[in-house]
Amino acid sequence: MASMEDIVSLAKRRGFVYQGSEIYGGLAGTWDYGPLGTLLKRNIVNEWLKYFVDGWSDMYQIDSAILMNPKVWQASGHVDTFSDPLIECTNCHARHRADHLLRANHILEDAINYDEPAPSPKWAELLKKIKCPVCGKTGGFSKLKQFNLMFKTNVGPVEDKESAAYLRPETAQGMFTNYKNILDSFYPDLPFGIAQVGKAFRNEISPRDFLFRVREFEIMEFEYFIPESIWEEKFEKWRKDMHSWFKHLDLPEAKIKEIEVPEDDRAHYSKRTIDFQYDFPSLGFDEIGGLAYRTDFDLKNHQEHSGKDMSYRPKDGSAPVIPHVIEPTFGLDRNFLAVLSNAYSEDEVEGEKRVYLKLPAHLAPVKAAVFPLLKNKPELVAKAKEVHKLLRKQIQGEVMWDDNGNIGKRYRRQDEIGTPYCVTIDFQTLEDDTVTVRNRDTTQQDRMKIEEIIGVVK
């Protein structure tokens, strides 16, 4: 079975994902998407928009700023409560997340929501038995301190408390602060949703597991505004749709788990939460999305802190209400990692180990590749260019040209980036206008007329 290391290595080798700032030794918790990763990510985003946003007349997509007025984060509760339990080894001064240490030592195994841990007084006792993973000393930890996960900066030329601002730790508040704008510009019927795809930042104490726990990440999500009375019905609707989305990403049923988050472990704003987990290599089941019933918590708090009326006036003239909110969230990088992990496959071809990405065609970054059999035969190259141009015109998505190395090498390269079909132009092509089309998954090659390729690739 593939390990996370295999995935990381392929991602780098083939230009999906590189370590951020790599030439300077990196910056922990940041990653750069290479050309193929950018294409794959773009495909996931476009599919998500098609699935949940575009063409739905109850959905409004926005793109709000990463820097927001700090009052937003007071109203949302992030300034006060968005923190992780930090401890320091008194011997080597390495800093750790207490909950991660406890979990790594199998001391906390029950269904705790590690993203918003509520440290119990018992933890200090438990930590006494644990070794520092850096220096090995047992139980020598400082008192637990809550460490706020928001990145802080200063806006404007003066660096003081007044000018402090935060990089948004979630995109949701952009939807809540624009809720009134949407009402004023579009007069939507209730229920309606405000969606966004964008970056968020969390100053994780110890980023880890490749794209899984990072400091800079992307979220696809929407806030769905409803009358309170229908929350259970809509919660169920979105639960089903989220499930179908993961299926649309070709993630198998057996690798997706829905976890009902118990009350004690839910975020402070949520009355019901379901986590969607994927069975990652090495890491096991962990979160790739979540569905939360946020009630009217956010709108009410913003009404209180901003003094702006957040109620919705029903068009039938009935009494104004503050809508309740159901929030389906998808970690884009984690969805990406799940797709990549799931596609990663190994088999044996002609006695040699082969690595290939079994990506579904709608997600594959490259839809087809075109090879001239030999790059130093002008007549082959000319014919191949012709075919390349034709496919480019007819097929939506990237059609790659590849003339580097021998055909075997090119197949291996295309296999590793998940290209479903490779089209080779050889000497017979010049005679009868046929080419070989090679299937990524079966490695079978079929000879066919040029005009037949489109049908196969589509």
Interface residues for a second copy in 393-412 (CB under 8 A)?
398-401, 404
Q: Taking contact as CB under 8 A, which single stretch among the options 111-119, 182-190, 242-250, 418-426 is the one that binds a second copy? A: 182-190
Query: For the stretch 265-278, what's the b/e string if a residue is b when 16 or more beta carbons lie within 10 angstroms of its beta carbon?
Result: bbbebbebbbbbbb
User: Considering the rule CB under 8 A, would residue 91 count as an interface residue with a second copy?
Assistant: no
Which ranges of 128-255 would DSSP assign to H, the alpha helix? 172-186, 231-248
Cα–Cα distances in Å, from 409 out to 10, 158, 376, 414?
15, 58, 17, 9
Closer to a second copy by CB, 27 or 259: give it.
27
Single-letter amino acid, residue 6: D
User: Considering the rule CB under 8 A, would residue 177 count as an interface residue with a second copy?
Assistant: yes
- The Cα–Cα gap between 457 and 421 comes to 7
User: Considering the rule CB under 8 A, would residue 85 count as an interface residue with a second copy?
Assistant: no
- The Cα–Cα gap between 442 and 112 comes to 43
The least distance separating a second copy from the CB of residue 122, rounded to whole angstroms, comes to: 23
Q: Which of 2, 4, 6, 20 binds a second copy (CB under 8 A)?
A: 20
Give the three-class secondary structure for 99.
Answer: helix
Question: Under rule CB under 8 A, which residues in 411-430 are in contact with a second copy?
Answer: none
User: Considering the rule CB under 8 A, would residue 363 count as an interface residue with a second copy?
Assistant: no
Close Cβ partners of 428 (under 8 Å, ≥ 6 residues apart): 434, 447
Backbone φ and ψ for 418, nearest 5 degrees, come out as 80, 20
Closer to a second copy by CB, 41 or 438: give it.
41
User: Considering the rule CB under 8 A, would residue 71 count as an interface residue with a second copy?
Assistant: yes
Closer to a second copy by CB, 201 or 278: give it.
201
The least distance separating a second copy from the CB of residue 38, rounded to whole angstroms, comes to: 5
User: Considering the rule CB under 8 A, would residue 167 count as an interface residue with a second copy?
Assistant: yes
Close Cβ partners of 83 (under 8 Å, ≥ 6 residues apart): 146, 147, 148, 149
Q: Which of 122, 128, 129, 199 binds a second copy (CB under 8 A)?
A: 199
x/- track of binding to a second copy for residues 303-322 (CB under 8 A): --xx-x--------------
Close Cβ partners of 90 (under 8 Å, ≥ 6 residues apart): 140, 141, 142
Question: Under rule CB under 8 A, which residues in 50-69 are in contact with a second copy?
Answer: 54-55, 57, 60-69
Cα–Cα distances in Å, from 302 out to 47, 54, 73, 167, 268?
32, 28, 10, 19, 15
Q: Taking contact as CB under 8 A, which single stretch among the options 144-152, 268-276, 376-384, 445-453 is the one that binds a second copy? A: 144-152
User: Considering the rule CB under 8 A, would residue 15 count as an interface residue with a second copy?
Assistant: yes
User: Considering the rule CB under 8 A, would residue 25 count as an interface residue with a second copy?
Assistant: yes
Cα–Cα distances in Å, from 243 out to 74, 180, 255, 344?
33, 30, 12, 22
Question: Under rule CB under 8 A, which residues in 208-247 are in contact with a second copy?
Answer: 215-216
Question: Under rule CB under 8 A, which residues in 103-132 are in contact with a second copy?
Answer: none
- The Cα–Cα gap between 130 and 133 comes to 9
Single-letter amino acid, residue 162: E
Q: Taking contact as CB under 8 A, which single stretch among the options 21-29, 222-230, 352-360, 426-434 is the one that binds a second copy? A: 21-29
